[in-house]
Amino acid sequence: MSDLNKLTVADARDMLRKGDVTSVALTEACLSAIDGAGALNAFVHHTPDLALQRARAADARIKAGDAPAMCGIPVGIKDLFCTEGVASQAASRILDGFRPEYESTVSAQLRDAGAVMLGKLNMDEFAMGSSNETSAYGPAVNPWKLDGRDLTPGGSSGGSAAAIAADLCLAATGTDTGGSIRQPAAFTGTVGIKPTYGRCSRWGIVAFASSLDQAGPMTKTVRDAAIMLEAMCGHDPKDSTSADLPVPDFEAMLTGDIRGTKIGIPREYRMDGMPAEIEALWARGAEMLRDAGAEIVDISLPHTKYALPAYYVIAPAEASSNLARYDGVRFGHRAKLAPGDGITQMYEKTRAEGFGPEVQRRVMVGTYVLSAGFYDAYYNRARKVRSLIKRDFDEAFAAGIDAILTPATPSSAFALGEMVDADPVQMYLNDVFTVTVNLAGLPGVAVPAGLDAKGLPLGLQLIGRPWEEGALLNTAQVLETAAGFVSKPEKWW
């Protein structure tokens, strides 16, 4: 029973209901694994006492017959989610010491469903990054290694991905603004889904780019993602963008039958310089779905090439607006002032000390594209491109396409420090296959599908119709089963 932390959510749920295991035992196994995994730097705020308290309460609920699917399941919460009385810093110095007096809607729904919060997970500062190297806590480390080198777990939800891959928790929350759930999942051999924009409430999640941000589950299997997503979803009147739609039983929709469905292969995703093994994995994924009875159709998404530049105008513009609230006045870090300094100096010094270089870069870019002389040239033009990208997807779905298959990332995980001194655009190119999904507000899921020549995980991405996460997860599970990915990193931490 010492390997309880290696269970899937589905298996743990079934064992809890049968009385074969307790939530306290599951929680203690995860806490022990976390204590022994400091080298991964995945958990940055530990809440063992709170976890055991919630585990005991979950066991009581299960004994009383009041057990939702997530009841008693130990999970990690990304540091972007505000958690009542528990440090919530968005991995930024500027929120040092901030302990909210309220709970984010998504983490509250998991709590109310009986899930056990083990602590807060590392991430890129304000979710801005693709490698977890912008975190004020230092980077999380991928459990997978290459020639003794530390690898990135991806970003911004790098701590979540690392924790699941290393079996520190059974599942975790993530957020995805341009690929921040799907890219880390692909880099670590785990599953991550970004739901349709509006499916999960954004209330109480520290905002990066409000029209793009969306919470989602990160798990070991597609079935686990379906179970956890149902608990995270639901209409929230506190979020004006939350959809007032019923939440399906996503797990019940995992029939394994995709016969007659049409899977689109977008020709524009065949990028120049794409590694041959990514191309081969993509072709193999299409073959797996064809063998399961799906029809593979070549499609065109003609405005794809404009997605990355449009994203890196819109996201920084929204970030510069959202981050204006961090001024050292009401909460978080405040710089020490010299005699004679006024409020302007306080703002300047606080933000210079509190924001890291990548956040400063994006705030400056966002402020620039929103300025009077450049608003139409950059921001308005990017918004128009976004509409065209969404129209491309709408037309594909209107033509009968049920899901779209693409690579999840342009490569496997790279070494920490490898891109620190490189042109920032090189880092931004990690999002090349994922940002279109956020710009169009669609659901997208990353599924581990194989290993590259270096022995590192590679993932495939499926993009679904809006609000049809159940059908998307069903297709993802078919792909997961056919791929048969069971590899785990060798323990070195």
235 has a pLDDT exceeding 80:
yes
Strand 262-266 and strand 295-299: the pairing is parallel
- Residues forming beta bridges with residue 120, ordered by sequence position: 45, 77
Separation between Cα atoms, residue 407 and residue 145, nearest integer Å: 22
428 has a pLDDT exceeding 90:
no
Question: Contact 220/190 with Cβ under 8 angstroms?
Answer: yes
Task: Give the Å distances, CA to CA, from 341 to 317, 330, 344, 355.
Answer: 29, 18, 8, 20
Confidence grade of residue 430 (pLDDT, cut at 50, 70, 90)? confident
Separation between Cα atoms, residue 173 and residue 189, nearest integer Å: 16
Separation between Cα atoms, residue 130 and residue 185, nearest integer Å: 12
pLDDT digits (tens, 9 = 90+) for 43-53: 999 999 999 99
pLDDT digits (tens, 9 = 90+) for 282-301: 999 999 999 999 999 999 99
Mapped onto helix, strand or coil, the DSSP state of residue 240 is: coil
- Quick check: pTM over 0.75? yes
- The mean pLDDT of 132-137, rounded to a whole number, is 98
Strand 295-299 and strand 149-150: the pairing is unpaired
3-state secondary structure 168-236: CCCEEEEEECCCCCHHHHHHHCCEEEECCCCCCCCCCECCCCCCCCEEEEEECCHHHHHHHHHHHCCCC
pLDDT digits (tens, 9 = 90+) for 387-424: 999 999 999 999 999 999 999 999 999 999 998 777 78
Residues sharing a CB contact under 8 Å with residue 258, sequence separation 6 or more, in sequence order: 289, 292, 293, 294, 474, 475, 478
Instruction: Quote the radius of gyration of the chain (alpha carbons, Å).
Output: 21
171-176: strand order across its sheet: 43-46, 116-121, 74-78, 171-176, 214-219, 191-194, 444-451, 457-464, 403-407, 262-266, 295-299
pLDDT digits (tens, 9 = 90+) for 471-491: 999 999 999 999 999 999 999
Separation between Cα atoms, residue 415 and residue 413, nearest integer Å: 7
Confidence grade of residue 331 (pLDDT, cut at 50, 70, 90)? confident
Mapped onto helix, strand or coil, the DSSP state of residue 445 is: strand
Separation between Cα atoms, residue 242 and residue 245, nearest integer Å: 9
Separation between Cα atoms, residue 48 and residue 27, nearest integer Å: 9
Element spanning 288, H or E: helix 276-291
List the helix and strand counts (H, then E) for the chain: 15, 13
1 has a pLDDT exceeding 60:
no
Catalytic site includes residue 145: no
Catalytic site includes residue 78: yes
DSSP 359-406: HHHHHHHHHHHTSTTTIIIIIIHHHHHHHHHHHHHHHHHHTT--EEEE
**Of the ranges 181-190, 284-293, 325-334, which one carries the lowest mean pLDDT score?**
325-334
pLDDT digits (tens, 9 = 90+) for 341-355: 999 999 999 999 999
Can you read off the two tokens belonging to residue 80? 């972007």
Q: What is the pLDDT of residue 415?
A: 96
Select the more confidently predicted residue: 39 or 272: 39
Task: Give the Å distances, CA to CA, from 368 to 347, 352, 364.
Answer: 19, 18, 6
DSSP, res 323: G
Single out the catalytic residue among 156, 157, 242, 320: 156
Single out the catalytic residue among 180, 242, 320, 412: 180
383 has a pLDDT exceeding 60:
yes
The whole-chain average pLDDT of the chain stands at 96
Percent of the chain with pLDDT over 90: 95
Question: Contact 83/46 with Cβ under 8 angstroms?
Answer: no
Catalytic site includes residue 488: no
